């Protein structure tokens, strides 16, 4: 089912709303053709007042990427051209929309006004108007919308839904199979508010017809805005057949608040988890695993409960990620074992059959094939050779307060527990560092490095006498 986005998105400098244009364009719909070009106009100028945020609404993330990017990714699979309508000062939104055309709506006068700002980009084919805060519309639903519009005799197609709680969505008024009107909730009668078919706000029509209808929209309504839904009224007045494509509420959900963003996130996560399992990934407790839109999980990967994937993660076959691990911006090669309680930060590359164990953190580090760092370790800006074992409590001191420095460890080395490797430093192949060492100088191949204070002589009987003094002091209070 389809969710509708709230009105008020905006678009182009210097533009007041145009005067009504009397057109000589015939009212009959343009004959459809599958080969006709198609243009998507995405309205993305909403300030997101209900988000209580300085960030533009469409820049809020879903599954690790801005909601506008989700919509663009799907639209790029369907439409020949895309133009994004933004508001003044939304340079970050414009940058995200690149390389697609961008226009600015200087005055926020409603959704029809916003769409009109992009009319120079409509071209000669079909035009669909989408909303940046309806980011979950699939490519297939967009194709269905175009296919509906291109049926013989159909001049305008729209997306609609039957949500569980219609709330303040605009209602779609129908007669038989045809749509006759869209009424906004604020303007609806009690009888109209009882209609369960709701407007998703997405329309598709021939470019010339769309231009004309947008120019004819008026703002004589409760909000004093130019509603895109009134294009339906213009089309019906022209005797054009208007049809609705009904899609799911989860897919077409509008996002106007933090609460709605959380509901949409849950929906996206369900999609991503289902997709991963369909591709052969084992999610032991799916609802506890959080993925990003770009997470790549190969078949035969096993993900245990309570694992979080940030952006930019690729996991190859036969990897096991144990509970309470967090991965971001990293690659995990075939057969590796991660966690529990591991953290892989951006720039890390874990080699085939390598181990990253509990409370181990990697940052910008390459762990060679078969290498192991199993306990309580931080490796930053490091290159660790194949088959090297990094003991518990090892730290690469990579940051001097201004610059990051590299640590290089050769193949087959053994880094003793509680070793401190002060970068920049290079340890050759086959090196052993004594437990508790602070290594500040390069170590050649096959050498053993000691970097700790020598233990003083043992004091015979001192521990027993020390404990006796303590117990006596305790007894005396």
Domain edges within the chain: 38-246, 279-449
Q: pLDDT tens digits, residue range 441-467?
A: 999 999 999 998 888 888 889 889 989
Q: Does residue 28 surpass a pLDDT of 80? A: no
Task: With beta carbons less than 8 A apart as the criterion, state whether 48 and 67 touch.
Answer: no
For residue 226, what are the contacts with CB-CB under 8 A and spacing of at least 6? 17, 109, 110, 111, 112, 113, 116, 217, 218, 219
pTM to 2 decimal places = 0.83
Architecture of the domain spanning 38-246: Alpha-Beta Complex (3.90)
What confidence tier does 106 reach under pLDDT thresholds 50, 70, 90? confident
CA–CA separation, 210 vs 148, rounded Å? 16
- In total, the chain counts a number of residues equal to 477
**CB neighbours (10 Å) of residue 11?**
29
206 marked ligand binding residue: no
Active-site residue, 306 included: no
Q: How far is CA 182 from CA 62, 111, 292, in A?
A: 29, 14, 36
- Distance CA(21)–CA(215), nearest Å, equals 6
Which one of the listed residues 60, 274, 326, 375 is annotated catalytic? 375
Is 221 annotated to bind a ligand? Reply is no
For residue 43, say whether it is annotated as part of any ligand binding site: yes
Does the annotation place 392 within a ligand binding site?
A: yes
Minimal CA–CA distance to 419: which of 387, 375, 456? 375
The annotation status of 139 as a binding-site residue, yes or no, is no
Mutual orientation of helices 139-149 and 67-75 as an angle, nearest 10°?
Answer: 50
| CATH code assigned to 279-449 | 2.160.10.10
Sheet strands side by side (includes 314-315): 296-297, 314-315, 331-332, 349-350, 366-367, 382-384, 407-409, 425-427
Is 460 known to sit in a ligand binding site? no
pLDDT band at 325 (very low <50, low <70, confident <90, very high): very high
The pLDDT tens digits of the residues spanning 405-420 come to 999 999 999 999 999 9
Per-residue exposure over 154-189, b if at least 16 CB sit within 10 Å of its own CB, e if not = bbbbbbbbbbeebeebbbbbbeeeebebbbbbeebe
pLDDT in tens, 278-323: 999 999 999 999 999 999 999 999 999 999 999 999 999 999 999 9
pLDDT at residue number 168: 85
Chain centroid to Cα 245, Å, comes to 26
Residue 182 has pLDDT above 50, yes or no: yes
User: Is 105 annotated for ligand binding?
Assistant: yes
What is the DSSP secondary structure assignment for residue 237, as one 8-state letter?
A: H
- Binding site annotation covers 452? yes
């Amino acid at each position: 089912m389809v969710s509708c986005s709230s009105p008020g998105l905006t678009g182009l400098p210097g533009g007041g709303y145009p005067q009504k244009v009397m057109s000589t364009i015939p009212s009959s719909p343009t004959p459809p053709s599958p080969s006709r070009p198609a243009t998507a106009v995405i309205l993305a100028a909403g300030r997101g007042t209900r988000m209580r945020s300085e960030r533009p609404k469409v820049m809020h993330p879903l599954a690790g990427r801005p909601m506008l990017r989700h919509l663009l990714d799907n639209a790029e699979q369907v439409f020949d051209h895309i133009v994004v309508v933004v508001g003044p000062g939304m340079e970050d939104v414009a940058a995200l929309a690149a390389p697609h055309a961008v226009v600015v709506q200087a005055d926020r006068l409603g959704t029809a006004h916003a769409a009109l700002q992009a009319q120079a980009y409509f071209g000669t084919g079909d035009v669909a108007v989408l909303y940046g805060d309806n980011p979950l519309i699939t490519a297939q639903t967009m194709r269905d919308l175009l296919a509906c519009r291109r049926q013989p005799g159909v001049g305008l197609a729209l997306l609609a839904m039957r949500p569980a709680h219609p709330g303040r969505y605009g209602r779609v008024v129908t007669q038989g199979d045809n749509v006759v009107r869209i009424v906004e909730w604020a303007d609806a009668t009690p009888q109209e508010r009882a209609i369960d078919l709701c407007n998703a706000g997405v329309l598709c029509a021939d470019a010339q017809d769309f231009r004309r209808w947008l120019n004819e929209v008026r703002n004589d309504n409760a909000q004093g805005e130019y509603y895109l839904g009134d294009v339906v009224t213009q089309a019906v007045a022209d005797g054009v057949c208007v049809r609705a494509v009904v899609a799911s509420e989860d897919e077409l959900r509008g996002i106007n608040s933090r609460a709605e963003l959380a509901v949409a996130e849950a929906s996206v996560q369900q999609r991503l988890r289902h997709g991963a399992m369909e591709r052969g990934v084992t999610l032991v407790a799916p609802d506890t695993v959080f993925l990003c839109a770009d997470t790549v999980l190969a078949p035969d990967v096993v993900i245990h409960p309570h694992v979080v994937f940030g952006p930019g993660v690729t996991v190859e076959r036969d990897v096991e990620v144990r509970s309470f691990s967090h991965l971001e911006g990293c690659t995990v090669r075939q057969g590796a074992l991660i966690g529990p309680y591991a953290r892989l930060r951006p720039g890390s590359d874990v080699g085939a059959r390598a181990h990253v164990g509990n409370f181990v953190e990697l940052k910008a580090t390459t762990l060679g094939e078969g290498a192991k760092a199993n306990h309580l370790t931080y490796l930053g800006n490091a290159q660790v050779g194949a088959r090297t074992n990094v003991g518990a409590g090892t730290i690469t001191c990579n940051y001097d307060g201004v610059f990051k420095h590299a640590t290089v460890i050769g193949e087959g080395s053994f880094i003793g527990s509680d070793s401190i490797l002060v970068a920049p430093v290079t340890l050759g192949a086959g090196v052993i560092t004594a437990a508790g060492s602070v290594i500040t100088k390069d170590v050649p191949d096959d050498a053993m490095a000691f970097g700790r204070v020598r233990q003083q002589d043992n004091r015979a009987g001192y521990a027993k006498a020390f404990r006796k003094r303590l117990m006596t002091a305790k007894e005396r209070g």
